[in-house]
Structures are given as structure tokens and as C-alpha cells.
Amino acid sequence: MKYCVRFFSNSKHSTLIKYFLSYFIILSILFLGFFLAVRIQLNRIYFKDLNDQTGKRLNNVMLQLEDDLSNINQVQSLLSKDINLVLSRYKNENWYNYQAAQRMNEYTVSNSFIDTICYVDNKTESILSSGKHVYKQDGIYYIYTGSHYLPFPLVQYAGSNKSQLIYLSDETSGLLIYLPYSSNMESYCIFYIISMKELQSTLEAGSFNGINSVCLVTPDNQIISGIHEDAILPYLDGLKKEAGRYPIDSDDTMFVYTGLPGSLTLLALSSNKAILGQVSLAFRNTYLILVLLATCGIFLILFSMRITYWPLHKLLTKLVDTPMPGRSYVDQIDAAFTTALSEKNKLQKKLDKYRLSMQKSILDSIVSDNSNSRMNGLLDIDQFFSDEPDNMIFVLTISHPRKSCNPNDVMVFLENALPDKNSCALLEAGKNRSVFMINYPGIEENKDEVIRLLLWDYCSETGCRAAVSNGASSPLEIPYLYENALLADKYRQEEAVVSYGEIAPRIPSPSNLAYPYKKLDALALCLKTPEFTQARRLKEELFSQIDSASENGTLFPDFFIRCVLIDILTIITNAMNRMNIKFKNYSDLYYETLYLCRSCPYQEKGGEVSRNVDELLAAFEAEYANSAVHASQIMEILREGYTSPDFSISVLADKFEVSIAYMSYLFKKKFNKNFSDYLWELRLDKAKDMLLHSSMPIDQISVRVGYINVSSFRRKFKQETGITPSQFRNGKG
């Protein structure tokens, strides 16, 4: 007793106590609510559910019958236009009759609801049948039932302007004939003998516990087909043939459905007796069950604690070094995840910010080292890194063929001519040539033409010559623009002002300083998928371009190389961060590589940088492999949920916390099949097993394997196997 008091008074066990008491209280409330629900609501709920289910099932039966008749109408349309039947009417020869009979057999086999198709040519009085034997005598057609012939006075029904269902019967057998409406009754007629077995199967789909009988009835109260026909016979005389639900007594209800051709009626007798028996049995067993449940209650609580509290406790010990007494586990875990997510976002921002600051510092150092600082004053290099989409950066050269050109004069002219102040920087000042970089803001679309006009004015006044590069919005393109401006000046002819676009066709080889945006984007995409083999190939291509740029003797390869290296490093780090790989696992290698990219000449440390990047990719691949989704895990979830109608690729994606696109890619990679195809194969195998080893109706099998729409299941089954589910069950495959 003292131990229990001490245990419950200990604040360390507050979460455990809360879980135990919550389960105990919930269990007690459930016991009490069980009795109240049974006594007050059970009968009403069961009866309402019985009526609702009966209505839904019978509606499904009616829809299936209408769908089957609609399919026969489609067969009628195809047969009416079939060339073989047309030729048989005009050429009464055995060959054409044989071809027509073959076509009729094909249509009969393709539709399980059709037992026989009968074609009657009124002109030649020839009769073709795909199944049962039919002959004509004294204007009456006789159809063989298997033991004898039933007369069919077709002429009595020929004048109708709508489709008809006609039931022929005697004391021993019956046939249901479907006669579609046709405007060609005088020349020929096609009628269909319905498969009574398939009709019986359709009616069985409407049967379940609570429905005593389901029957299809003629206007004169003949039962065509049904289940437990004897139960419904006493109520046929005097029954209203209008659609609706008619209570017969306190226990039984008659459901009437109309709308079928031939004024046929679907009847169903529903009884509450089975439900009342189940309720009575539940009351009798309730007290015994209560004693058993009370005995098992504590074990249930302990088991629930094991699968809820204990995993939560283990997760807390992994995430939190020192759990806080008195604070719930959920709050502490939430705080730990929030902290981890915050650190991840901070790391992402730091990486992006550091990347931008590195690019700025490298460009600033180049501008400061290669120009007169007094001439530039306090140049704000940030303006060249503006994210405004309309800003354009140009590089231009100014030279004089006979005398030196004062860079300061050019700077003053450009500063006064450009829209913003302090948007011009001197990159290189030589004896006969100076190189400038300008940032041109604004919304003008023809900025390059404006620059050309400004240079024409200046060159006309001073006698200088100018060359201008193409424009770019990104400062990463400055090395490329610088090289283009020098090439324009080198390959000029006699023009005072020349642009790179004019001389581009004369340049023998492309530039190595064009920024590799597409390759960097492709690298980011490969690491997002991830495709490590393709990522390594792109890495080699990028380093090959860097090696070529390092051999360039112009001013800016260093800026280009460092920016590309930093982008490669940032892309890899961002991808690892997105995959929730802990930064501390690779931080030393990252900082070492970053130092080499930022502070060491590439010509000296390029090989070491390349090896470090390879090691980062290898570390990424190893970490990813440890946390990857395995095929056995996917298969386990498939086996548990593939029969659910709601099961889809998004279920797997949510389970493993990845995108649907990546889950689809991963599934195809591991199973060599699309998810939808693999899911259908599982469902098809399950359906085949149930068809062969159970007597369950086909619509129930459809639902059991994940298809609520029975017609869709039948169509897909036949498309896959070539036969209907009923034929497969009967061994016709």
C-alpha cells in the first residue's frame, strides 16, 4: 500500500498515471454506454439499417439488370449493321448464313447475360440461332428448352414501339426473351434468350440476412426467377404493382421496383425477425460478456499502455536528454521536433546567406584589387546582387586608337547617364583600354540599345572606341560578360561601337565562363530524387568546365570558379538537409571543403576539392541508404490494405513521409511495375481465389477486393482474363 501511495505521489510518473486513468475511465464509460445504447437505440438503428441496406441492394440489382439490357441493345445495334447478317439477307447461301451464325456466336460468348441470339429473316423464312434450336410452324416459333419446345408467337409482339421482356413458360420450364425495339421487323427480327443462370446470379446479389425472398415477376404474377420463391407467393395476389415499400405486418415489408421492359416487376420480401433474434441473443449474452470484459479490462489497459505509452516513452528518451517532470510527453516531443525543425531552417538560411556573401566578397575583392579605389569611392557591390527582375548588368571596354583614355572621365559620363548613382564600377584600367561594369535598372526592354546610343555619343565626342557585352540579370554571369566584351573588342573591324551580338558568329569556340545553370539545376534534381550515379556524372562535367575556365588568362576565372564550387557545395548540403540527414555527421568535411573553395587557389587545391565533393556524395548516399524505404516494408503495407477501396499510392507516400511522385518512382524501381498494375494483380488473384473456393456472390467479392463498382470489376476482370467472373467460377476458362 505504501508503495502505491509513493508511486502515485511521484511526479516522474505523472504521464504514466494519466494514461492509465484515461484508459480506465474510457473503458468504464464504454461499458455503461453499451447497455444504454442496446436498450434505447439498438432496435431503431438495426431496423433503419436493414431498410437502407435492402433499398441499396435492390437498387443495385435494378441497375445491373438495366445495364445488362443496355449491353444487349448495343449488341443489337452492332448485329443490325454487321455485314455478314446483311449479306445473309440478300444472298441466301450457306456460306453467308454460316458467317452470320459465327458472328452471332461471338456476340453470345462475349455477353454472359445472353444465352442465345436468334435471327429470323422474314423474307426467306430462314432462322439462325447461336444456341437453342428454333423452328417455325404455322406462324409460331418453337424454342427448345432442353426437354421440349416452347411456342413463341413472335407476331403478337412485332408491332410494339418499345423493347419488351417476354416470359414463356409451361408446367416444367420457362424462357425469358428480350425483344429490342427495331424498325425493321417486317424484313428481319433479332431476339435474345436471357441466361436464367446469370439472371439468378444477379438476383442473388440482392440477398442478405434480412431479405427472405427476391423475385422477378410478370404482370400476371408469374415468377420468372428468384430466391426463396415460396416465401413471396402468398403475397402476390392483390399486391400493388407500383414502385414503393409496403409494410405487410409488424415484421415483414414488401419492396416493389418497376421500370423494366414488359412491365416486369422486381419484388423483395424483407423480414425483421432475424434482426430481432440477434438483438434478443445479444441481450441474453450481455451479462456474461460483461463479466468477461471486466476480467479482461485490466489486461486491455496494460496492453494499450504497452502500444501507446511505452513507445512514446522510448521516443522521448531518444529525443530529449533530460525529460522534464510534470510536463506531458507529447509537449516535450513536440518541443524537440520544433527545435529540430527550427535548427534545420536556420541552417538552410545560413547556407543561402553565406553563399550570397561569399559571391559578394569575391566580386568586391576583384573590383578592389583590379581598379583604383579612389576612383570607385565606396562602391556598393550589393546593387549588382539585386533580385529585381528588370535589372541588367553589362560589361564594356573603352579605348582610344591614338592616345590614352582617362577612366575617370568615362566613369563621370556613365554615372551621369545611368538612371541610378553609384551603379558603375571600374574593373580594369590599362594604358590604352579600360573595362567597366554597369548595373542598369528600370523597366525599359531595349537596355542594350540604350547603352549603344550612350556609347555612340561618347565616342563621337572623344574619338574613343567602345565594345559592349550582352546583358545578364545575374552577377554570376559577370565573368562571361567580361570575356564577351573583350572578344567584341578583339574581333571588331572598323566600327566605333561594337556589341558582342554582332561579332558572335566570328568567334571560333564557345566561352568556358558561361554560368552552368542547367547543369546545376540538373544536379539539384538528381539529388532530390535521388540518382547518385547521374549526380556524379554531372559533378564530373561541372569540374571539367571549371578546369577549362582555370586555364583562361582573363581577369574573372577565379570569381567564376569559386561561385560554381560554392553552388555545388550548397546544392549537396541543401539536399542532405531536405533528407533530414544530421549536419553534424558531415560538418567537418563540409567546413574543410568550404575553406578550400573560399580561400585556396583552385590550381593548387582543385584535386582535393573534387575528392572532398566525392566524399560528400558518398556520405549522402550512405546516410540515405540507412534511412531508405525497403521493398519488404512496402509489401507489408500492400498485403494489409490492398483490398480497401481507398488504398492508393498516396497511402504509401503518407506512410513513408515522401512525395507521391517519389513514391511512384521508388515503387517502379523496386517492383519493375507501376503501382496501379501491381495493385490490380493482387486484387485479381484474391478475386480468383474467392471465386473458386467460396459461394460468395460476385458483387460481394468485388467489394472484398476493393471495387465498389461491380460493373467496373466485371469489365476489368473480363478484359484481363477474357471471360466473365461467372464463367471463371464455372470453369469455362
CA distances from 1 to 5, 6, 7, 8, 302 (A): 6, 9, 10, 11, 20
Is the domain of 618 the same as that of 549?
A: yes
Paired with 416 in beta bridges are: none
**pLDDT over 60 at 194, yes or no:** yes
Instruction: Report yes or no on 595 lying in a domain.
Output: yes
CB 287 within 8 A of CB 34: no
Instruction: Tell me the torsion sign for CA atoms 346, 352, 355, 357.
Output: negative
Helix, strand, coil content of the chain in percent (nearest 5):
60, 15, 25
Is the domain of 88 the same as that of 237?
A: yes
Number of independent structural domains in the chain: 4
Alpha carbons 83 and 85: distance in angstroms, whole number: 6
Beta sheet of 114-121, edge-to-edge order: 126-129, 114-121, 188-194, 174-179, 164-169
Paired with 217 in beta bridges are: 223, 265
The residue among 713, 704, 628, 620 whose CA lies nearest residue 663 is: 628
Instruction: Report yes or no on 40 lying in a domain.
Output: no
What pLDDT was estimated at residue 380? 62
pLDDT band at residue 443, thresholds of 50, 70 and 90?
A: confident
Instruction: Report yes or no on 526 lying in a domain.
Output: yes
Q: What is the pLDDT of residues 469-516, one digit of tens each?
A: 888 887 777 777 887 888 888 888 788 899 888 888 877 766 667 778
Instruction: Report yes or no on 679 lying in a domain.
Output: yes
Is the domain of 490 the same as that of 394?
A: yes
Is the domain of 610 the same as that of 647?
A: no
Is the domain of 537 the same as that of 670?
A: no
Q: What is the pLDDT of residues 711-724, one digit of tens each?
A: 888 999 998 888 99
Residue with cell 438476383: 203
Give the domain extent around 650: 631-729
Domain C-terminal end among 251, 271, 291: 271
Is the domain of 100 the same as that of 227?
A: yes
Is the domain of 537 the same as that of 574?
A: yes
Alpha carbons 527 and 539: distance in angstroms, whole number: 11
Structural element, H or E, at residue 302: helix 273-319
Instruction: Report yes or no on 536 lying in a domain.
Output: yes
- Candidate ranges 248-262, 400-414, 535-549; pick with highest mean pLDDT: 535-549
Q: What is the pLDDT of residues 355-395, one digit of tens each?
A: 566 656 666 665 665 554 434 444 566 667 666 767 888 99
Domain C-terminal end among 626, 648, 683: 626
Alpha carbons 93 and 170: distance in angstroms, whole number: 36
- Candidate ranges 191-205, 374-388, 399-413, 626-640; pick with highest mean pLDDT: 191-205
Structural element, H or E, at residue 438: strand 433-440
Domain C-terminal end among 602, 626, 650: 626
- CATH number of the domain bearing residue 186: 3.30.450.20
Q: What is the pLDDT of residues 203-217, one digit of tens each?
A: 888 777 778 788 888
- CATH number of the domain bearing residue 720: 1.10.10.60
Is the domain of 227 the same as that of 157?
A: yes
Is the domain of 500 the same as that of 539?
A: no
Instruction: Report yes or no on 26 lying in a domain.
Output: no
**pLDDT over 80 at 607, yes or no:** yes
In eight-state DSSP terms, residue 586 is T
Is the domain of 564 the same as that of 708?
A: no
- CATH number of the domain bearing residue 416: 3.30.70
Is the domain of 164 the same as that of 218?
A: yes
CA distances from 111 to 104, 134, 431, 701, 726 (A): 11, 20, 94, 20, 11
Alpha carbons 267 and 264: distance in angstroms, whole number: 10
Instruction: Tell me the torsion sign for CA atoms 487, 490, 493, 498.
Output: positive
**pLDDT over 80 at 308, yes or no:** no
Residue with more model confidence, 41 or 412: 412
Query: What value does the mean pLDDT of the chain take?
Result: 79
What pLDDT was estimated at residue 329? 64
Instruction: Report yes or no on 264 lying in a domain.
Output: yes
Instruction: Report yes or no on 484 lying in a domain.
Output: yes
Q: Indicate the pTM of the whole model.
A: 0.39
Q: What is the pLDDT of residues 99-157, one digit of tens each?
A: 888 888 888 888 888 999 998 887 777 888 888 889 888 888 899 888 889 898 888 88
**pLDDT over 70 at 46, yes or no:** no
Task: Give alpha helix (H) positions in 491-626.
Answer: 500-503, 517-528, 532-550, 557-578, 587-599, 602-626
The mean pLDDT value for 625-631 works out to 66
Is the domain of 479 the same as that of 555?
A: no
Structural element, H or E, at residue 196: helix 196-204
Q: What is the pLDDT of residues 564-588, one digit of tens each?
A: 888 888 888 888 887 777 788 888 8
- CATH number of the domain bearing residue 528: 1.20.120
pLDDT band at residue 540, thresholds of 50, 70 and 90?
A: very high
Pairing of the two strands 211-217 and 465-468: unpaired
The mean pLDDT value for 678-687 works out to 91
